[in-house]
Structures are given as structure tokens and as C-alpha cells.
Amino acid sequence: MTEPDREIAKPQGFIGKYVFSTDHKVIGLQYTFLALFAVLVAMVLSWLMRMHLGWPDVSIPLLGMLSPTGAPGGLITPEYYLSLMTIHGTLMIFFVLTIAPQSGFGNFLLPLQIGARGMALPRLNRLTFWITFGAFCVLLSPFFISDGPPITGWTAYAPLSAVGPIGGPGEGMGQDLWLIAIGLFCLATVLGSVNFMTTTLSLRARGMTLMRLPLPCWAWFLTAVLSLLSFTVLLGACILLMMDRVAGTSIFLPAGLVVSGELLHRSGGSPMLWQHLFWFFGHPEVYITILPAMGIVSHIVSCFSRKPVFAYRAMVYSLMAIGFLSFMVWGHHMFVSGMNPYTGFAFAVLTMVVAVPSAVKAFNWMGTMWGGRLRFTTAMLFAIGFVSLFVTGGLTGLFLAQPPLDAYLHETYFVVGHLHLIMGMVVIFAIFAGIYFWFPKMFGRLLNETLGKIHFGFTFIGAYVIFMPMLFLGLEGNPRRYSALTDNFLKPLVPLHQFITVAALVVGAAQFIFLFNFFWSLFKGPQASENPWEATSLEWTVPSPPPPGNFPGALPKVYHGAYEYSVPGAEKDFVMQDSPEEISAS
Amino acid sequence: MEAAILTPSKPSPPGDCVPPPGKGNDGGGGGQGGRGGDGSRGPSNPPLPLGAYRIAIWIALASISMLFLALTSAMVVRAEISGDWVHTAIPPILYFNTLVLISSSLTLELSRKALRRAAGNKFARWLYLTIALGILFLAGQFVAWRELAARGIYINTNPGSSFFYLLTAAHAVHLLGGILALLYLVFRRRQIIAVPRKRIAVDVTAIYWHFMDGLWIYLLILLMVKL
């Protein structure tokens, strides 16, 4: 009995083609454009924060009109500073760093790289994007209510996040909306993870064994496992917090809380419980952001070194080790919470252990490049920049992993510098590398390499210029999340803050070079061939952009691993995965 | 020089119809089913291997387990730390509801058995009974909540009652999802009976339903334990 073929998503009208599509390529681009919009909004928020830190008495143009309660006369109030910080962090971590590498690139590329016509569950995929979009709208909606967004940071620590409107501006409906947005985001991410895992396990082409998978596919798969297990914990935590806020429970609220002169009639709850639940999610979350980035960079570095990934198996196992260990180190965010020093010791040791597979990867990227015939395309430059920032940011993490050092450095700018280097800059560099690499495949046109290199120069140097000084600020004891640097020991540091602000604004402006390049090339860039980079993976065997159904004709059969570059005796310096050319397995 | 390895596709699972190999340019893809196009219909897209749906539902169940594990650990911690924990006595109707849910799992299995024997009428009727029992369970849970309210125990009365309401409500929401899935099966019963491949929908719904049953038993034991 012949079973009917599955329908290949064919474009039907504007809505069916671009809005409610089940085509994974469209959905991947929808996520990518959502992340692009989110990063612009979050970047502007960071500019406002930085301007306030450097020049708190200077009125910011237009802001007084846009936020009359938060910034009367263009001067940001302390509470509004915290609101900006909260939404900046939430947007960047969830809607940029979690979405772009995984849901953006992953949705577009996973079926192509494994040789499938689409994701396993296309309608679920469509649903998850629109839930994510809904979450985005809900997250930004507090800017339009009188109290504004919440002030508790992306970490939403109890008890401030649990006490309700008496906690301050934004702690009423603003915090409720934040919780709803994050809850929706958790749901969408978990459903997306089901799709990624099912697709990778079930839809690989003939000959595509697990050990022939391109590294991004491994990374997307393992990230999906991490998401599946950690975002549900965040969902549970958000439900519990919502109960404290609206149902009168005392899960995170201790006895004796006096807020704004009012004694709260709750008791028995534990703010520490929120921290444990949040960071049990929060630490895997940062690995969720970086694992796909690592996969993407491995792929790009190999292509532009014209060499196989150094120790492919070690790269796979280290991805697994990092993912596994990421669930065991959450306490390093809580060293100063009063935990038993032996517990602190255990978390510290495990945190240092995570550095081992990370170092394996860093050495392997360098090993991949060593002796290769390097091609310094913009994508390669951003990939190398990724390795540089990964080492720098990672090393600062080792400082923070020591409880005695963290006792001093916790809640200082050292942490801010660390997290922006290792998470902000590192993952953003991987996203840029991925965009410069896959733009031809996604849109059928080439980005301008000269503009790309200028963009790289500003961004790479800028990353260090902005965030290295923050490490010094932290060592000087500059606390984070302060909107006013008026203490006697902070006033001398203001000039350094001003320097950082100027650097941030310059680097921010340089991003418009990228935006111009992106949108101009979208319409006017030179046409891209099927395989402009001479890469080996399956997405480079199809037209740019790929048609509905991805592979015109039959699905590919895979004969080789993903990194057959400079194979001795081969016809060219690369052998594509679906090429029947025989090569010696050495 | 060794020949490059071409790993053959996995054999199709039993019960899945596999056509004889077609022309050379047919889609070979996922490995099962779907004769290739004759050129005029465009490239072929073989149906998703049935095992994929099973993998998907087990993965989804792993995430649901993680949610209830997180809530369990929050509950245990909250119970231990403050000395203000009051154990909520289980309303007796909960035991009846448990029997109802277990029965619904049995009726669902009877429904699947009937489907395997292609007894379409019996399949539908056991399915209706399963749905009815599921709704009866939810109604019983609602009665339990009203019983607690009558005793003056609400969600914010004490931490024990908070978690009682939370866990039973979280389970009820997921069970409601299961009922919607069963209603979908009823809606599509004709195709399910006619096309063997579509029976996977019944299989994955059953896996989900039985898991909800097991989860309920776990929650009941957890709520019975005096922390």
C-alpha cells in the first residue's frame, strides 16, 4: 500500500508564504528578523543607561517626551534606570541570544544540513514562532502603561518581584506582564526543542550518521536537550512567583517584610528558593546561548581554514560534557547568598571543570586554523573574534568561580564585564559570523565584504574597549545596577564610565554599517551561486535561496563527513558530503 | 583506497507499508514509504517515519516531567524550611477520581485493541467512554476543590494548601490537553479507521494519556505524604 507523500510547503499568497508559513526557512528568517529588531531595541535601551551613567545631569533629547514619568525633563529616574536595565537584559538574553543562534539559524539550516525537506513538525514550528512573537509583544507592553516595566532585572529576584505594586514602579502590572511574557517564551522554547530533537533523530538523509553531522547540527540538538530540561523549570518558577503575586501564597515571601512602611502579612517563604529555581534554569540558559554559537564557529573556521575540524569527535563530546555539566554549577551565581562553604567549594570545583571541555574546544579551533590556508572573509574574521573573546571572557569567569574572589566581585562591574564579554560579545560574534556566512544561501545575494570588514574592525576592537574597562571598575568595587555614581569612592570612576559610554555609542553607530550592508545587499547585492564559499555541507548543494522542499529532485545520499577539506588525492580542495567521490579514510 | 561508507537506511518498522523500490530518481529520504514523483508532481517528500511521532511525544513527556520535578522540589524545600507547613488532608473524592482515571486508561487500551482488530464501532465507543471518564475526573477534581473551600482551605490558606491546589491544577490543565487530543481522535475517527498510518495518532495520544495517569498517581502519593 503506497502512503501519500507529505505536502511540501508551497507558497500560497502573501499570508501563507510570509506570515503563517510552515516552511522552516521562512520561520527561521522570521525568528532572525525578530532577534534583529529585539537587539536594536535593547541596544538603544543600553545607550540610554550608559548616557545616564556618564552624564546623569544632562537631559537626553526626546526622552522626556517619550517617557514623561520615567524620565521627566529627559533625566532618568533611578527606578526607570532599573526598568531599562530589566528590559535590556530580558530582550538580549531571551529574544536575541536564545532565539537567533538556535531558532533562527537552526530552523533555517537544520533540515538543509541533515538532508531533509523540512522539520519533523512544521505546524508546531509555526505555532512556536507566533507564541514567541506574542511573548515579545507582551514583554514590551509595560512601556505603554503608566507604571512602566519592572525594576527587578532579568533575574526578577524575590522578594522584590513577589511583593506586588508596593515594591515600586513597574512592580504591579509591569512585573505581571513580564512573567506572562517569559512564561509564553518558555512554552514556545520547549515546543521548539521537541521539534529540533525529533527532526535530528528521525529525518537525517541516507548515509548521514550521527558522526557525519555538521557540528552546528550537534549543537542545535544538544541545545534543544538543555532547553527542554531547563525552560520547564523556569516555567515552574514563574508560576510560583505569579502565585505569590496574585494568589496570596508565601512561597518566596518571608515573614516580617516591611515594604514602603507597610508590613506584609506573609510568612514562611524563601527568597533563596527563587534563586535556586531561577539559576537552575539560568546557568543552562547561558550554555543554550553559546552552544549553537560554538557549532556555527566550528563550521565556519573549518571552511575558511580549508581543514577539517580538529578532533571532530572531541568537539562532539565536549559539547555533550559542557551541556551535562551546565546543570551542576548554578550555585556559582549564589556564592554570597550564605550557602555552606563546602557547597560553595563543590560548585566552584564543578565550575572550573566546565572550563576543561571549553578549553578543549578553544584549542581545537586553534588547531583547525593551524597550518590551514586561511581565507579571511568577514565570516572568518568574526569567527576568529569569537575565539578571542571566548578565551578572554571565559578566563574572567574563572576568577568569579573562586568563592573568596567572588565575595568581593559579586554584584560589581567585573561581573557585568564578564557576562557581556562571554555572552554578549561572544554569541553576537557567532551570529554575525553566521549571517555573513549564510546570507548568500538565505537570500541568494552576497554581502559586501569591504563593509563587512569595517564592521568587524569596529565591533571587535569596540568589544574590548567597552568591556575590559568594566573589569577594572569591578576590581575598584563599582557595584552593578547602580544608577547614581555619587558616592565618594565612585565619583573618581565616572570618567571611565564616560569613556565606556563614548565607546559604546561609537560601536553602536558602527552597527549601522552592518544594517546598511544587510538591507542594501538584500535588494542590490551581487547574485550568489550555489556554493560561493566552497563549503562541504548539504545546504551548499542546493540553489541560493533553496526552493520549497529544499532539494530539487531526490533527497541527497551522504557519503562523507562534514569537514572533508584538503583531502589528499581529491579533485578539489574540498569534497562535498553528497559527492560519490571515493577518498581514503585515514 | 577504501570505499566510502554508505550507511543503508533503517528498515521500516513492522506494520508500515513499504512500496517496492521505484525509479532511480525517487526520493530516498527518511527511508520509508512514499513512492517518488513521476516528475510532474515535483520532488517527493516521503511521509515522516512513524517512529518520529513516538520520539516526539516521549520528548514532550520528558519536559512535562521536568516541570513537575521542579514543582516537587520547590514543595519539599518549602515544607522543610519554615515550620509552618500544614498537611492538607486528602478529600476522599480524590481516591474515587483516581479509580476513574485508571479506568479511563483501561478503556483507552480497549479502544486501541478494537482499532487493531479494525472494529471501527468498538474503537469509537471505547473512545467516547474514555473521554467521558476524563471529564468525570476533571469534574471530580473540581468537587475536591469546592470541598476544600467548604472547609475553609483555599490556595493561600497555608503553604501546604498552596501546593495542593497548584499540583492538582497543573495536572488538570495537562489532562485537559489530553482530552482535547482525544476529541481530535473522535473528530478524525473515519480517517483513522480507514488509513492504518493514521493510527499513530491514537498511539501517541495513548502514551500521553497513560503518562497523565501515572503522573496523577505520583502526585497523589506526594500529596498524601506528611512532609
Q: Based on the fold, state whether residues B40 and B111 are members of the same structural domain.
A: no
pLDDT band, very low/low/confident/very high, at A350 (cuts 50, 70, 90): very high
Whichever domain contains B145, its CATH number is 1.20.120.80
Chain B contacts of A251, Cβ < 8 Å? 74, 78, 159, 162
pLDDT band, very low/low/confident/very high, at B57 (cuts 50, 70, 90): very high
The answer to whether A235 contacts B52, with C-beta atoms less than 8 Å apart, is no
| A545: preceding bond cis by omega (within 30 degrees) | yes
**Nearest of A312, A162, A293 to residue A237 by alpha carbon:** A162
Report which residue type is found at B31. G
Task: Give the C-alpha separation, B157 to A307, whole Å.
Answer: 65
CA B3 to chain A, closest CA, distance in angstroms equals 6
Task: Give the C-alpha separation, A543 to A14, whole Å.
Answer: 22
SS3 A6: coil
Q: Is residue B2 part of a domain?
A: no
Given this model, what pLDDT does residue B12 score? 36
Given this model, what pLDDT does residue B119 score? 87
The answer to whether A232 contacts B25, with C-beta atoms less than 8 Å apart, is no
Residue A91 has pLDDT above 70, yes or no: yes
Task: Give the C-alpha separation, A140 to A464, whole Å.
Answer: 30
SS3 A148: coil
Given this model, what pLDDT does residue B45 score? 77
Q: Based on the fold, state whether residues B63 and B142 are members of the same structural domain.
A: yes
Q: Based on the fold, state whether residues B147 and B124 are members of the same structural domain.
A: yes
Q: Which residue of A has its CA nearest to B83?
A: A268
Residue A261 has pLDDT above 70, yes or no: yes
> Any idea where the domains of chain A sit in the sequence?
13-256+277-541
Q: Is residue B96 part of a domain?
A: yes
The answer to whether A554 contacts B9, with C-beta atoms less than 8 Å apart, is no
Q: What is the mean pLDDT of chain A?
A: 95
- Mean local confidence (pLDDT), B178-182: 98
Residue B160 has pLDDT above 60, yes or no: yes
Nearest-5° Cα angle at B186, B185 to B189: 80
Size of interface A-B (CB pairs under 8 A): 194
Instruction: List the single best residue of A186, A208, A232, A567 to mutate versus B (max B Cβ within 10 A).
Output: A232
Given this model, what pLDDT does residue B111 score? 97
Q: Based on the fold, state whether residues B40 and B60 are members of the same structural domain.
A: no
A503, A463 Cβ separation under 8 angstroms: no
Q: Based on the fold, state whether residues B130 and B95 are members of the same structural domain.
A: yes
Name the strand (E) or helix (H) holding A263: strand A262-263
The answer to whether A273 contacts B78, with C-beta atoms less than 8 Å apart, is yes
Neighbours of B50 (CB within 10 A): 22
- Mean local confidence (pLDDT), A366-370: 98
Q: Is residue B1 part of a domain?
A: no
Q: What is the DSSP string of A377-401?
A: -HHHHHHHHHHHHHHHHHHHHHHHT
Q: Based on the fold, state whether residues B26 and B70 are members of the same structural domain.
A: no
Q: Based on the fold, state whether residues B110 and B21 are members of the same structural domain.
A: no
The answer to whether B56 contacts A194, with C-beta atoms less than 8 Å apart, is yes
Max alpha carbon distance in chain A (Å)? 83
What residues of chain B, 18 to 57, have a C-beta less than 8 Å from chain A? 19, 25-31, 33-37, 41-49, 51-52, 55-56
Chain B contacts of A570, Cβ < 8 Å? none
B13 CB within 8 Å of a chain A CB: no
A179-236: pLDDT as tens digits: 999 999 999 999 999 999 999 999 999 999 999 999 999 999 999 999 999 999 999 9
A460-480: pLDDT as tens digits: 999 999 999 999 999 999 999
- Mean local confidence (pLDDT), B134-146: 98
| A159: preceding bond cis by omega (within 30 degrees) | yes
CA B227 to chain A, closest CA, distance in angstroms equals 15
Residue A54 has pLDDT above 60, yes or no: yes
Instruction: List the single best residue of A206, A227, A245, A330 to mutate versus B (max B Cβ within 10 A).
Output: A206
Single pTM value for the model: 0.93
CA B42 to chain A, closest CA, distance in angstroms equals 7
Given this model, what pLDDT does residue A358 score? 97
Residue B3 has pLDDT above 50, yes or no: no
Given this model, what pLDDT does residue A583 score? 79
Domain that holds residue B132: 50-224
CA A158 to chain centre: 25
Q: Which of B43, B81, B155 sits opposite A551 (nearest CB)?
A: B43
- Mean local confidence (pLDDT), A533-550: 96
Task: Give the C-alpha separation, B151 to A396, whole Å.
Answer: 56
**Percent of chain A at pLDDT above 70?**
98
Q: Which of B63, B84, B166 sits opposite A243 (nearest CB)?
A: B166
Given this model, what pLDDT does residue B24 score? 34
Given this model, what pLDDT does residue A19 score? 86
Q: Which residue of B has its CA nearest to A252?
A: B78
Q: Which residue of B has its CA nearest to A276?
A: B74
Task: Give the C-alpha separation, A499 to A497, whole Å.
Answer: 5
Report which residue type is found at A551. F
The answer to whether B170 contacts A1, with C-beta atoms less than 8 Å apart, is no
CATH class of A13-256+277-541: mainly alpha
B28-49: pLDDT as tens digits: 333 333 343 343 445 677 788 9
**Nearest of A535, A529, A538, A533 to residue A564 by alpha carbon:** A535
Residue B103 has pLDDT above 60, yes or no: yes
Q: Based on the fold, state whether residues B89 and B122 are members of the same structural domain.
A: yes
B1 CB within 8 Å of a chain A CB: yes
**Percent of chain A at pLDDT above 90?**
93
Chain B contacts of A210, Cβ < 8 Å? none
ipTM: 0.93
Q: Based on the fold, state whether residues B32 and B88 are members of the same structural domain.
A: no
Highest mean pLDDT among A66-80, A320-334, B39-53: A320-334
The residue written with cell numbers 505520583 in the block is: B218
User: What are the angstrom distances between the C-alpha of A190 and each of A184, A239, B56, B111, B208?
Assistant: 10, 16, 12, 30, 16
Tally of structural domains, chain B: 2
Task: Give the C-alpha separation, B213 to B99, whole Å.
Answer: 10
SS3 A525: coil
Q: Based on the fold, state whether residues B164 and B89 are members of the same structural domain.
A: yes
Residue A482 has pLDDT above 80, yes or no: yes
Neighbours of A570 (CB within 10 A): 16
Q: Based on the fold, state whether residues B14 and B77 are members of the same structural domain.
A: no
Q: Is residue B83 part of a domain?
A: yes
CA B73 to chain A, closest CA, distance in angstroms equals 9
A534, A574 Cβ separation under 8 angstroms: yes
B172 CB within 8 Å of a chain A CB: no
